[in-house]
Homo-oligomer: A and B are copies of this chain.
Amino acid sequence: MNRVAILFLLFFPLLGAAQEDAFAEDAFFIRKIYDEALTRSRCYDWLNFLTRRIGGRLAGSPQSAAAVEYTRQVLDSLQLDSVWLQSCMVPYWVRGDKEQVRIVNSLKMGTVDLNGLALGNSVGTGTMGITASVVEVKGLDQVDSLGEALRNKIVFFNGSMDPTQLNTFNAYGKAAGQRVWGASRASRYGALGVLVRSLTTRLDDIPHTGSTVYEEGVTPIPAIAISTRDAELLSRLLQEEPVRVFMRNTSQNLGEVPSFNVIGEIKGSEFPEEIILVGGHLDSWDVGTGAHDDGAGCVQAMDILHLARLMGYRPKRTIRCVLFMNEENGLRGARAYWKWSDEKGEYHMAAIESDRGGFTPRGFTADGHEEVFNEKFRKVIEWLPLLEPYGLNFRKGGSGADISGLKGQKGLLFGFEPDSQRYFDYHHTPIDGVDVVNKRELELGAAAIMSLVYLLDKYGI
């Protein structure tokens, strides 16, 4: 309670008596949230089940259906006002056989197998695979300048994440274009396939998957991520001799299948039409078990409702937990939700997404419609003295993919922002498991989000 005491001393002289009382009440309630989250949270157990018992939850997969049912049951057990599934159609992509990426007949090195992982949505090479000469590029622009020289080649995108960015998401944002658009761009000039350097600042043997998108009108060509260490090797070899690579994947898009968002809510007692959404995405990639991305966000969102119940907290506004389906390779769940919510004329006063991993909280990014954002953000900033003792801050910035489409409702959109240093060690890889999630860090995230929900609910914006 030491920090709370310090807060009193710091801020009491500035406040009137009524404000003092409110500040004291809020400071104590937030401290209580943290006490509860650090002792009675169930989010780590839920994450354990979601990852170890169910596993990777690619949209459309049997595991994704299991995750829908499991989380629905958990929400059902919390005695909420309502729990329901919201249907959506999702693309069902399957990886197929273990990918092969092989340097063939190098003069210096002979034949070398590289660690490869097909990008999500990638078409397959056909069962015989593709063998072709490799051309290295650093990014999309270089593809355009090389143009026809890429015909019948395998294009190797070797742009790397900038390690000097303190926030690794900034480095990711700059480097992700080659993964998303590389195949389409190279296909314009007749390339046969693409290899993409994995998106991580680490130098290791672990390939990172993630979505690739085929632009309308281009011939889809296969795309495989290779590990950063293998990217370095391939690049060095290309400086010394022409290199031919054999690549093979049997990935396929199996069309659309039905799936669901999972939703639970506690109805507001005074302003039920003002919705505070907390959410994450329930799907993950098929490799690994999607612990940080985004099992962590889902169980934190569920824990908000759980903590509210534990603490006997009756919200004035409606608190709704939404676990979105298909964020990774389609955003279909989110789109279905936005459409449904807009058609009902709903108003999301605030939405908070947790989709940057289950690490120690640092704060929230905030975003919103330009007509209202600055005024609303100013209001939120006033809560900082209550949140800073917990290491939380606000900054302007994108919120989360699944809630971004709610901007038109003119509420505030928040992205929960934990420490970013380790996220891209695990992102979209086989090692994103619950063993690399720290229980306390995960719980602190739930407490941070619940604290913001409490202030949003109490004061409105």
Contacts and interface: CB of A to CB of B under 8 A. Distances in A.
Interface of A: 3, 34-35, 38-39, 163-164, 166, 168, 201-202, 360, 362, 390-391, 419, 421-422, 425, 438-441, 444
A425 B362 CA distance: 21
Contact of A163 (B3, B166, B168, B440): B440
Contacts of A441: 421-422
A421 B164 contact: no
Given A39-B163, A166-B391, A425-B438, 16 more contacts: A3-B166, A34-B164, A35-B164, A38-B163, A39-B164, A163-B440, A166-B390, A168-B440, A201-B440, A202-B439, A360-B360, A360-B421, A421-B438, A421-B440, A421-B444, A422-B438
23 contacts: A3-B166, A34-B164, A34-B166, A38-B163, A39-B163, A39-B164, A163-B440, A166-B390, A166-B391, A166-B444, A168-B440, A201-B440, A202-B439, A360-B419, A360-B421, A362-B391, A421-B438, A421-B440, A421-B444, A422-B438, A422-B440, A422-B441, A425-B438
Contacts of A391: 166, 362
A396 to B, nearest CB: 11
Nearest to A2: B170
A419 B163 CA distance: 20
Contacts of A440: 163, 168, 201, 421-422
Contacts of A3: 166
Nearest to A422: B438
> Closest 10 interchain pairs by CB?
A35-B164, A38-B163, A421-B440, A421-B441, A38-B164, A360-B419, A422-B438, A360-B421, A39-B163, A421-B438
A438 B425 CA distance: 9
A280 to B, nearest CB: 20
A422 B425 CA distance: 17
Contacts of A425: 438
Nearest to A202: B439
Nearest to A201: B440
Residue from A34, A38, A201 with most neighbouring chain B CB atoms (10 Å): A38
Contacts of A439: 202
Nearest to A447: B166
A168 B444 CA distance: 13
Contacts of A421: 360, 438, 440-441, 444
A188 B440 CA distance: 38
A40 to B, nearest CB: 10
Contacts of A444: 166, 421
A292 to B, nearest CB: 13
A104 to B, nearest CB: 33
Nearest to A444: B421
